[in-house]
């Protein structure tokens, strides 16, 4: 995959994280069970992150072993095919615990891509 497409995928992930941060502000885990629109938004952004992560090269991912890349890729399938079995607790953990380190890793990857291009 060329550098521009990789950069686009990383940008999509960061955009989805930003949307999740915005829609989750002031919310609680219970809102996933009581507000279907909120739940759908959160799950859709997680699906987008999952799908985009599949297109990030392993060479970039290797620089961030603290991220569960397989888990991120797998959660999209769970949301698409076993949506009735995913618990609000797990979704909320993704939003509140898993996304901040992912955001840092993706930002670092973008920086690496830019530096490699200019160097």
Cβ neighbors of 89 (< 8 A, separation 6 or more) are 29
Percent of the chain clearing pLDDT 70 (strictly above): 97
User: Considering the entire predicted model, what is its pTM?
Assistant: 0.92
Closest CA to 75 of 105, 103, 54, 104: 54
Specify the pLDDT at position 43: 95
9-45 per-position pLDDT tens digit: 999 999 999 999 999 999 999 999 999 999 999 999 9
How far is residue 106 from each of residues 2, 33, 35, 56, 101, measured CA to CA in Å? 17, 29, 29, 10, 9
Q: How confident is the model at residue 48 (pLDDT cuts 50, 70, 90)?
A: very high
106-119 per-position pLDDT tens digit: 999 999 988 887 65
Specify the pLDDT at position 85: 76
The parent domain of residue 59 ranges over 3-118
How many structural domains compose the chain?
1
């Amino acid at each position: 995959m060329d550098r521009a497409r990789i950069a686009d995928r990383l940008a999509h992930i960061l955009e989805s994280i930003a949307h999740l941060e915005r829609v989750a502000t002031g919310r609680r885990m219970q809102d996933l069970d009581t507000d279907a629109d909120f739940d759908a938004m959160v799950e859709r952004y997680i699906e987008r992150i999952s799908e985009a992560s599949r297109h990030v090269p392993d060479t970039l991912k290797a620089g961030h072993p603290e991220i569960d890349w397989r888990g991120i890729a797998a959660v999209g399938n769970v949301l698409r095919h076993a949506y009735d079995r995913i618990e609000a607790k797990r979704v909320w953990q993704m939003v509140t615990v898993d996304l901040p380190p992912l955001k840092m890793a993706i930002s670092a990857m973008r920086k690496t891509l830019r530096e490699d291009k200019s160097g």
